[in-house]
Amino acid sequence: MIQPIEHAAEILSTARRAVALTGAGISVESGIPPFRGKGGLWEKIDPMKVAHIDAFLKDPETVWKLLIKDMKRLLDTARPNPGHSGLADLERLGILKTVITQNVDGLHQMAGNSDVIEFHGNFAWQSCLDCNRSIETSQVDLTTLPPRCSCGGILRPDCVFFGELIPQKALIRSQQVSAACDVMLVIGTSAMVQPAATMPFIAKDNGAFIIEINPEATPLTSRISNLPLLGDAGSIMPRLLKALRRRLATP
Ligand code: NAD
Ligand code: ZN
């Protein structure tokens, strides 16, 4: 029987419009904890409560202290890992067209992917709740929390809190590329956050082959994944790229 990594490489070697859907898991090996799963933030706080827009508007100081401050500290220094680089390599090979990410860390762009749909916005910028001015997160002073704009208004990150709508453009483009792809790589997502979790179903309904990379089974694994690769993205992706390059080099 063909090994799963070889099978995935074979599928990708003939793909022309592959798309990746990524979640917090792909950034774990860059030192950013996920929400769910082992070592996840969920073990310490309930993100459904703390990362909810109502909680932020009611008590921005607490949400900055419990969640956003630490996120800023982690993201200021985080670098892409071999999982991200593997996706950048797949784009360079002409196989991967788009990355749909639920992450707000900017690591796909840093790794070199050029078409990244940020489904939940990004953490690189903050907006003032009063005057709507944008400020780069790296420039924000955290001496007093919540940090404020020069107008006195409270700053919030440009990411989507629970209870907020997905940016319309990101949602529509994600649906389009999911419907048009021939292979979807689903990497490091628990597939529990909607509507991102519907993208693999859209892809599958339109005939795509679903390759899933995750150390744990998800609701997708037994339902729609054609090929689950059980393991960490940072170790699976380099092996997958190696197997793929070998195939592409063999006439
Ligand atoms: P999640 O936290 O719900 O699930 C993470 C998944 O990654 C789990 O299924 C886990 O088994 C898997 N995983 C853990 N380590 C892995 C590894 N090394 N390689 C591959 N997979 C691994 O993540 P989610 O589904 O993305 O949903 C949480 C939401 O929280 C996201 O929508 C995102 O907006 C936000 N979030 C973002 C970041 C970030 O930007 N890096 C971090 C935490 C949370
Ligand atoms: Zn302002």
DSSP code string of 126-164: EEETTT--EEEGGG---SSSS-B-TTSPBEEEEEPPBTS
8 and 115 housed in the same domain: yes
User: What's the CA angle centered on 23, arms 121 and 41, to 5 degrees?
Assistant: 90
**Residue at a domain's end among 112, 143, 159:** 159
Reading phi first (left if > 0) and then psi (alpha if -120 to 50, else beta), residue 219 is in alpha
pLDDT of 48: 75
**Does 239 sit in the ligand 1 pocket, CB within 6 Å?**
no
What is the whole-number distance in angstroms between the Cα of residue 22 and the centre of ligand 1? 8
Q: Which residue owns the Cα nearest ligand 1 atom 37?
A: 103
* Domain, as residue range, for 2: 1-32+80-120+166-251
CATH classification of the domain holding 134: 3.30.1600.10
| Closest ligand 1 atom to Cα of 83 | 19
215 and 96 housed in the same domain: yes
Ligand 1, pocket-test mutation among 74, 190, 240, most atoms within 8 A of CB? 190
145 and 177 housed in the same domain: no
Sequence-ordered alpha helix ranges (H) in the chain: 4-13, 47-50, 53-58, 60-63, 69-77, 82-92, 107-111, 168-180, 199-205, 233-249
What is the whole-number distance in angstroms between the Cα of residue 27 and the centre of ligand 1? 7
Count CA atoms closer than 13 A to 52's CA, side-chain side: 10
**Does 40 sit in the ligand 1 pocket, CB within 6 Å?**
yes
**Does 216 sit in the ligand 1 pocket, CB within 6 Å?**
yes
Using alpha carbons, list the distances in angstroms from residue 235 to 55, 118, 209, 215: 37, 24, 22, 11
Is residue 108 part of the annotated active site? The answer reads no
Q: How would you write the pLDDT of the chain (251 residues) with one tens digit per residue?
A: 679 999 999 999 999 999 999 999 999 999 998 877 666 666 677 877 788 999 999 999 999 998 899 888 888 899 999 999 999 999 999 999 999 999 999 999 999 999 999 999 999 999 999 999 999 998 999 999 999 999 999 999 999 999 999 999 999 999 999 999 999 999 999 998 889 999 999 999 999 999 999 999 999 999 999 999 999 999 999 999 999 999 999 86
187 and 242 housed in the same domain: yes
**Beta-ladder partners of 156:** 127
Q: Which of 164, 153, 160 is nearest to 60 (CA)?
A: 153
The token duo for 106 is 């900017």
Residues with Cβ within 8 Å of 19's Cβ and at least 6 positions away in sequence, in order, are 96, 97, 98, 99, 100, 177, 178, 181, 183, 184, 185, 203, 208
pLDDT of 50: 85
What is the whole-number distance in angstroms between the Cα of residue 26 and the centre of ligand 1? 7
| Closest ligand 1 atom to Cα of 40 | 2
DSSP 8-state code for residue 166: P
**Does 103 sit in the ligand 1 pocket, CB within 6 Å?**
yes
Q: Which of 126, 108, 125 is nearest to 117 (CA)?
A: 108
Question: Torsion angle of alpha carbons 244, 249, 116, 168, nearest 10°?
Answer: -80
Ligand closest to the CA atom of residue 72: 1
Cβ 70 vs Cβ 44: under 8 Å: no
What is the whole-number distance in angstroms between the Cα of residue 161 and the centre of ligand 2? 20
Which of 7, 52, 84, 120 is the catalytic position? 120
Instruction: For strands 96-101 and 209-214, give the pairing.
Output: unpaired
51 and 154 housed in the same domain: yes
Structurally, the chain folds into a number of domains equal to 2
139 and 182 housed in the same domain: no
Separation between Cα atoms, residue 79 and residue 111, nearest integer Å? 8
73 and 84 housed in the same domain: no
**Beta-ladder partners of 21:** 100, 186
